[in-house]
Structure 1
Amino acid sequence: MTGAGAGIAAARLVPADGDVPVDTPRVPAREAAQDELSDPVYHEHDPNLLERGLDRFWEWIGDLFAGATGAVPGGPLGLVVLALAVVGLGTALWWRLGTPPRPVRSPEALFDSTLCSAADHRAAAAAHAGARRWAEAVQERMRALVRSLEDRAVLDPHPGRTADEAATEAGRLLPAHADRLRAAARVFDDVTYGGRTADEAAYRTMCTLDADIEGAKPLLTTGTVPGASG
């Protein structure tokens, strides 16, 4: 009970003429004072629910900090040193292990639903390279390489074929280029599904391989056209 509220309550228990105070029992007097203090006029400046919640929160933070300070040797200074040590350890781990790798998507089909010729893919690759979009340029040049093999009947057309599958099949028929084909497929997958970037050197390497494959003569096996050398 505040002093003002108690004074008002007490005043109501005294007759207006001020002659003789009324002897009111303790319980009725307390109830009368509570009724008086329940008047909204006394609570206009009380904190609202959010303010009370924030007050409780900061009290909890203060208690937590006080408890931690008492538990750590050296008091507040020891707590600061411990916090700096934790931050330093986290930084060292991040520096040592690096940022978490991006999730690698499962390889999908090399070609989309749009049917383009090898020349179309080469033109698209050149346009991307001219704009220094090396990842897209590498992708289109790999597609041009595989489409060229299909056009020459070195590989059977297969809409759902992945870059790895195309490189493996072509490598059996062009063993002299098998390693380079597998490397090209890895670059394509890294750029397309692994979130990695490409550069001009990767694009030039893909172009050189495409040109070399264009002039290579495949082994004569079932499913190939004799003398198909471009």
Structure 2
Amino acid sequence: MSTGGLITIGAAALLPGAETPPLTTPRDAAREAAERELSKAAYHRNDPGLIQRAFDRFWEWLGDFLDSASGATPGGGFGLLAVLVLIVLAVAALWWRLGSPRRTAAGPGLLFDDGLRSAADHRATADAHAAAGRWTEAVQERMRAVVRSLEERTLLDPRPGRTADEAATEAAVSLPDHGADLRAAARAFDDVTYGGRAGDPDTYDRLRTLDITLERAKPLLTGPTA
């Protein structure tokens, strides 16, 4: 009895210890401890900087975008390359046609920005600019020649500070048949001078033709109600 009792008591004393699980750290606490350890500066000495990471992300995005675009474009990569080339050519053509962006003036500026010069002087300067391919300057000088010629013929009163639009409106009174062409010439002058548009040979040819035509035009001296 005593021996059996000792065995029973010993087994009961050993059993709870045998069933107790080993000591473990909770999962969340272990994760937080790992994150704190890995956040130390010693583990990040060779990491790329912020700018480098931004560039890496950009190139990854660009690569994914091009892969997706090439898959959706007929012809795959070659088709996408052709589309990109066409876009570049279109942008270059617009840049050449419209000129570089400039600040748009709040309103039309003055027609003459220097001392008094004759119409012949403005024509010679305009032709020199045209021969050198400086079409913006050629358009400006040809419009000045038109207005100065009208002043020399007393069809316009010489007035400092006159704008191209004002000159066209005033000249149309005595030259009503050419009013539309005069207003178009004034718009062209304002576009290349204050609107950021580049001059071109066609615009210059139209102004040159208008200048020659107005020299031979017979004015309506008594006004539009005659």
TM-score (norm 2): 0.56
Q: Which runs of 4+ in 1 moved over 2 A?
A: 54-64, 77-85, 94-103
Could you tell me the percent identity over the aligned residues?
Answer: 55
The answer for the alignment partner of 1:8 in structure 2 is: none
The secondary structure found in structure 2 opposite 1:113 is coil
Whole-Å separation in 1 of the counterparts to 2:131 and 2:211: 18
Task: Confirm or deny that 1:215 pairs with 2:220.
Answer: no
Equivalent AA in structure 2 for residue 147 of structure 1: R
Equivalent AA in structure 2 for residue 174 of structure 1: L
**1:58–1:210: structure 2 CA closer, same or farther, 3 Å change rule?**
same
Task: Confirm or deny that 1:104 pairs with 2:104.
Answer: yes
The secondary structure found in structure 1 opposite 2:182 is helix
> How far is 1:107 from its partner?
1.9
Cα deviation code 1:139-169 (max 9, x no counterpart): 1111011001111111111110111111111
Equivalent AA in structure 2 for residue 111 of structure 1: F
The answer for the alignment partner of 2:207 in structure 1 is: 206
Relative contact order, higher structure (CA 8 A, sep 6+): 2
> How far is 1:218 from its partner?
1.8
The answer for the alignment partner of 1:191 in structure 2 is: 192
> How far is 1:57 from its partner?
8.7
> How far is 1:189 from its partner?
1.0
In structure 2, runs of 5+ residues without a counterpart are 1-41, 69-83
Equivalent AA in structure 2 for residue 140 of structure 1: E
**1:55–1:161: structure 2 CA closer, same or farther, 3 Å change rule?**
farther
Whole-Å separation in 1 of the counterparts to 2:222 and 2:135: 36
TM-score (norm 1): 0.55
The secondary structure found in structure 1 opposite 2:171 is helix
**1:204–1:56: structure 2 CA closer, same or farther, 3 Å change rule?**
same
> How far is 1:80 from its partner?
6.8
Number of equivalences:
156
**1:220–1:55: structure 2 CA closer, same or farther, 3 Å change rule?**
farther
The answer for the alignment partner of 1:154 in structure 2 is: 155
The secondary structure found in structure 1 opposite 2:144 is helix
Map 1:1-230; keep pairs closer than 5 Å: 58=48, 81=64, 102-105=102-105, 106-221=107-222
Cα deviation code 1:120-147 (max 9, x no counterpart): 1111111112212111111111101100
Contact residue 165 and residue 187 of structure 2 kept, 8 A: yes
> How far is 1:56 from its partner?
10
The secondary structure found in structure 2 opposite 1:198 is coil
> How far is 1:172 from its partner?
2.1
